[in-house]
Chains A and B, each alone.
Chain A
Amino acid sequence: MKKTLRISLLTVALMVFLVGWGVQAADDKPLKGVTITFAVQSMPTMTKAIAMLPQFTEETGINVKVDLMPYDSLVQKITIDLTTGTKQYDVFWMEPTWLGRFKNDFEPIDRFINDPKIGIDLKDFDPVFFEQTQEYDGKIYGLPFDACLLLLAYREDVYEELGLKVPETWEEYLENVKIIDAKSNVRGVSLMGKRGQPVFYEFLPYFWGFGGEFFDDNMKPALNTPEGVKALEYMVELSKYAPAGVPTFGWEESATEFLQGRAAHAFIFSDWVPALKDPASCTVTKTWNFMKTPKGPSEGSPVGTINIGINKDISEEKKQAAYLLLKWITGYEVQKELAVIGGAPSRLSVLNDPAFATEEFRYFKAIKETFPIEKVPMKIPEFFKLNEALSVQLSSALSGEKTPKKALDDAQKSWEEIMKEAGY
């Protein structure tokens, strides 16, 4: 009796195993042997994800060839590759601001996402965040690998020492900056003032907070509005409480001021978290935190979200394989692993995971709070030109060459030209 039972159990187990194996061979790995090429920037979380790739290949049979490269190289290569249709890369890093520029080169992935078999549940993302970062003209073009939010970092210990309250408005924030600058041995704030992307992103939270919008309803630029001027005046005012040399501060320098404990506040992209946690590069590892971006009459916080997108010009088989890679690398399992080493997950299931309800992951709260006010600066193809034109003027204002009003007047003029040329 016992023996029969044992044999039958064994048989059942064997059958389950065989069937399972057979099913897997027949259904779960239909794309076995397909090879896709993946172009991404080398950064700590991405390197970690790449190291986990063998797992993906084991699960799906899809081979992934990775090209890790520095940021400048990546942007230029992807641009040339997509524009000339050379199809060197099947899956790649992209940023929400690229969506307009490359809308004809990216594959919309709605049909995969809605597929009952391989689809995913979008409820795991904050709706505002997802719409802002992944959609263009109502279609979904990618999935977020890392939220990469521009968050306001502050020093909890300095706040405690001076009995300050985390500010909710820009007014309160400026007060805190002034108090810290006067009463403690750290400077009030550090700003990214270097021409190019840094000063542009530094300006955005103030601009949106004071009620500025880049365009009016007719897509006419609206930079030199009273709101815009107030925001730039505010930023220039802030820079008085920053360490010397703000106009030379790129992301690196500005973040370093904070990391080295010389400034009490700084806007830092969340992908700096690994550095913030590393005692070899940060002297305040235990006492920093992010806060929800303060607001003025209005509010807004820029995202640089790192998306993964698919090349439109590749075969259907490759597209499917690429989608599976997308799904895997932005999925719960991988994202959880990345969060451990300092990634900023965009999945709410990871952010709310009890495993992260510890002191070490105190900054998850600010990430969750910031999602609903996330904005992509703009997604129109002219973004790069406009960004460049504005950043020159912002940098002039910070260096004292022009008044905020004059700087924004000049920026308005060049924006109007660019938009006119583009046919708006």
Chain B
Amino acid sequence: MKQNNKFYALISLPGIIYLLSIVLFPIIFTVYLSFHKYNFIETPLSNIRWIGLGNYITIFKDTTFWNSALNTGIYLVVGVVVELAIGLGIALLIFRLFKNQNIVTSLILLPSMMAPIVIGLVFRFMFNPQFGVFDFLLSKMGIVIENSVLGNRSTALLGIIFADIWQWTPFIAIIILSGLIALPHEPFEAARIDGANGFEILTNITLPLLRPVLTVAILIRMADIVREFDKIFVMTYGGPGAASEVLNFTAYRINYINFDMGVGSAYVVVIFAIVILLSVAVFKTFYVNEF
């Protein structure tokens, strides 16, 4: 056993060193900066001033933060719930029909594999009020949105979430499908003998058994949504006003446009903390198996 320890240590050491050196240093540096007053352009790094929690206080006092946090929250809840619901439906349908993966599953997966920047640009094009196909279809259905979808403060964020749902629902569906395929048969047969109907089977057996899979799906989506940037950057730039501005976009703006890297780093730390806290919360709530 002792020899084993040495073996594992030896083989994993290069990886650990590499990982820590490429990730640990920037993280520590970011945390360090978040306690300082530091503007990338104006202050040389040697001249930065310790201000304790000053940057964090600035953030929490700022209405921009709360607006962005609210938008992030809406994005999270709507995005995850809709993606899970539709994804589950699609997965059940495919499972019912084909019992396994086939050409349908590989085609449907395509949106999730595309480059986010391409998706953002394509959706910006399709949402264009003049020559975009979405607004054209909406107007054909008799729905007129003032200033168009992305230009209206009540619908801009929804437009982005729509693109997100399009991009990630297939991914969720396929994860759930694989979960379904891997489920044991016995509980279902027993339930059928007991005369349970389809809905009862779904809520009492399928969903509880899928819990680990669903957890992973939620986890991945949450981490990605909190870090969402590309689509917003291309589609609305946070506008109109700040109607579609989310936390990560605010962080980008402060870091890269204002170059207030003290406050910006504090933003990054806050976002990081949110992702970790949410992950732990989801884990504790849904995940029963040992990790």
Contacts and interface: CB of A to CB of B under 8 A. Distances in A.
B147 interface: yes
B148 A248 contact: yes
A195 B256 contact: no
Interface string B122-136: 000001111100010
B240 A399 contact: yes
B189 interface: no
B58 to A, nearest CB: 10
Given A193-B151, A384-B258, A248 B236 contact: yes
Interface of B is mostly: loop
Interface string A261-287: 010000000000000000000000000
Interface residues of A, number: 35
Nearest to A80: B40
Contacts of B241: 195, 392-393, 395-396, 399, 401-402
Contacts of B237: 194-196, 250
B151 A392 contact: no
Contacts of B147: 244-248, 399-400
Interface in A323-352: none
B211 interface: no
A76 interface: yes
Nearest to A414: B64
A262 B128 CA distance: 14
Contact of B150 (A79, A243, A248): A248
Contacts of A395: 239-241
Nearest to B258: A385
A244 B143 CA distance: 14
Nearest to B150: A248
B258 A244 contact: no
Interface residues of B, number: 30
B243 interface: yes
Contacts of B40: 79, 83
A172 interface: no
Contacts of A260: 130-131
A249 B240 CA distance: 10
B227 interface: no
Contacts of A83: 40-41, 259
B290 interface: no
A79 B259 contact: yes
B130 A245 contact: yes
A90 interface: no
Contacts of A193: 151, 240
A399 B148 contact: no
Contacts of A381: 41-42
B130 A257 contact: yes
Contacts of B253: 388
B239 A247 contact: yes
A398 interface: yes
Interface in B219-272: 236-243, 253, 256-260
A231 B129 CA distance: 26
Interface string B6-42: 0000000000000000000000000000000000111
A392 to B, nearest CB: 6
11 contacts: A244-B147, A245-B150, A247-B240, A248-B128, A248-B147, A249-B151, A262-B130, A392-B239, A393-B241, A399-B152, A399-B241
The 10 closest A-B pairs by CB, nearest first: A245-B129, A195-B239, A396-B241, A245-B148, A247-B151, A399-B240, A247-B240, A248-B151, A395-B239, A248-B150
Given A79-B40, A195-B238, A248-B240, 14 more contacts: A83-B41, A245-B151, A246-B151, A247-B240, A248-B129, A250-B237, A253-B128, A256-B131, A384-B258, A385-B258, A388-B258, A395-B239, A396-B240, A396-B241
Interface of A: 76, 79, 83, 101-102, 193-196, 243-250, 253, 256-257, 260, 262, 381, 384-385, 388, 392-393, 395-396, 398-402
